[in-house]
Amino acid sequence: AMLKDLAQLMPATAGMRRWGAAALDLSYVAAGRYEGFWGRELKAWDIAAGLLLVKEAGGMVEGLREGQDPLETGSILATNTLLFGQVSKLLRG
């Protein structure tokens, strides 16, 4: 699934980085260092604090599938408000 996601996103971006820790990646979205983050099959303890940081910073956070709770499914999409529609369209099909 991640390779399929990359195939959708790579042509539409200038580049991608991943440090390997969802909490760090989400905090970078909140700080404006990253424009977005997505992940699949993550644990709630890996994303809960970062999810809150992004929301409090004014970003958008949802499940990868519309209407899903990322804390329940472990699949998350977080971006700044300007890019959420574009990124979600690419990842959600």
User: Cα(1)–Cα(42) distance, rounded to whole angstroms?
Assistant: 13
pLDDT exceeds cutoff 80 at 58: yes
At 18 the pLDDT is 66
C-alpha closest to that of 38 among 13, 75, 66, 89: 75
Whether this prediction's pTM lies above 0.85 is answered by no
pLDDT exceeds cutoff 70 at 32: yes
pLDDT exceeds cutoff 80 at 15: no
